[in-house]
Amino acid sequence: METLVLAAGEFDQTSALVSFAWIMAAALLAPIASQLTRGYIPSVALLLLFGMLIGPSVWGLAGFDGGITMLKELGVGALFLLAGFEIDRSSLRSRQAGSSLITWLICLTLSTAGAWLLLRDAPLALVIGIALTSTALGTVMPVLKQQGLEETKIGQSVMIHGAVGEVAPIAAMALLLSARSTLATAIILLIFVVIAVLVGIMPQAIARLMPWVHKAFLAGYGATNQTVLRLIVLILAVLMAVTAVFELDVVLGAFAAGFILNAVAPDDIHDDLEKALNVLFYSILIPVFFVASGMEIDWHVIRDNTLAAVAVPLIILITRGLPVFLRENSRRDGDKLPVRERLQIALYAATGLPIIVAVTSLAQSAGLLDQETASIFVAGGALTVAIFPLLARVVASQSNNA
């Protein structure tokens, strides 16, 4: 009997290693294939596509055996930590950040009202409203990096709309879709904020109270010890664990970790730290997240519900992209951008996937959505990742040629 149990355990481990090998093969192939298209098809979209191909619904080469699910969770954590780390904190105190929040609230109101008129089901309409008005900032960031838009006005506007489009849906999901009362959820969110702040200031407090720890920490900064990167991963792990214990979305913990790191990291090492984090996370964890997300897409659902899956990105473009475009179009300050650039911002802001996955998963657990409908929404969210950045690239190329 023990031999059979051991053999089963070895089979599971072997299966997980085979899955990981296929996932990393897809992760390597995606950027190469993207370069063959001259970057018009973002590698992120190809990661999703290759993930679906090797996943259970098509070729069945890779599955979620062993630690693949854990790696995927760490990948989404790494993605949102970088999103929080790269946000310009001063921009969040700007008028544009306030207007971006108002824009998101308008998006949520319109999409929820439209869903209610069609479905006459308030909880389900709210689920759809939150899902359709999110922005996948963590997903868009690699595309902005590849196209050199990070430091441009387009990139900065996308970062602001994206930050609101990530944090606001997460907070709304926690407050409005939780099984707990709204007051209880608000208290839990407040406790989380307190814990996050304490986690953020603890390293500095320890350094001041125990200088010898600080010296040992700096001594292990490079080479094989990498104490700084290990501290960052520890902060990420702690805050993700806290959100999991409090039954909040782990994205909130990861984003908070990045934002705290952004606030406490000295300016003179900020760029070097960003490069180190890119190497650490973009080599394994983040591509694993995208490929694994693609593996969750059920090809049969898309095949049998093609029109519904295609309709989702069109609805997202109307409920999220159009209000962002109109808001950018109505700006009266000196930073008003040309129409093509505002269109690019709208397309990037309408790109969504991680929050759609999180919201639909929560709705499934609550019995508000069935698996087929959730798969259609996830497939539609994946299509936004595949299509909208490509359209933004086409708009940019036409602008350059004009």
Q: Greater confidence, 330 or 129?
A: 129
d(CA 307, CA 319): 18
Residue 26 lies in a domain: no
Which residue range forms the structural domain that includes residue 181?
40-401
Residue 35 lies in a domain: no
Q: Which two tokens stand for residue 78?
A: 């790494």
d(CA 245, CA 263): 25
What SS3 class is residue 98?
helix
Q: Which of the four pLDDT bands, split at 50, 70 and 90, describes residue 22?
A: very high
Give the closest residue to 51 by CA, choosing from 280, 299, 234. Answer: 299
Residue 205 lies in a domain: yes
Q: Greater confidence, 44 or 401?
A: 44
What SS3 class is residue 42?
coil
Which tens digits make up the pLDDT trace of 58-112?
A: 898 998 877 888 888 888 888 888 877 877 666 666 677 788 888 899 999 988 8
Q: Which of the four pLDDT bands, split at 50, 70 and 90, describes residue 24?
A: very high
d(CA 262, CA 31): 28
149: pLDDT strictly greater than 80: no
Give the closest residue to 260 by CA, choosing from 207, 204, 200, 206. Answer: 200
Q: Which of the four pLDDT bands, split at 50, 70 and 90, describes residue 204?
A: low
Amino acid present at 185: T
Which is it for the CA torsion 368, 372, 373, 378, positive or negative?
Answer: positive
d(CA 44, CA 31): 8
What's the whole-number average pLDDT of the chain?
A: 79
Residue 217 lies in a domain: yes
377: pLDDT strictly greater than 90: no
Q: Which two tokens stand for residue 156?
A: 């900065």
Q: Which two tokens stand for residue 241?
A: 């664990």
Q: Where are the alpha helices (DSSP H) in 147-181?
A: 153-176
Q: Which of the four pLDDT bands, split at 50, 70 and 90, describes residue 181?
A: low
Residue 16 lies in a domain: no
Output the pTM of the full model: 0.76
Residue 237 lies in a domain: yes
pLDDT value at residue 11: 42
d(CA 61, CA 59): 6
Residue 164 lies in a domain: yes
Cα torsion through 278, 283, 284, 290, rounded to 10? 80
Which CATH number covers residue 319?
1.20.1530.20
Domain count, the chain: 1
Q: Which residues have CB under 8 Å from 264's CB, separation 6+?
A: 200, 201, 203, 204
Arithmetic mean of pLDDT, 350-379: 78
Residue 24 lies in a domain: no
pLDDT value at residue 10: 44
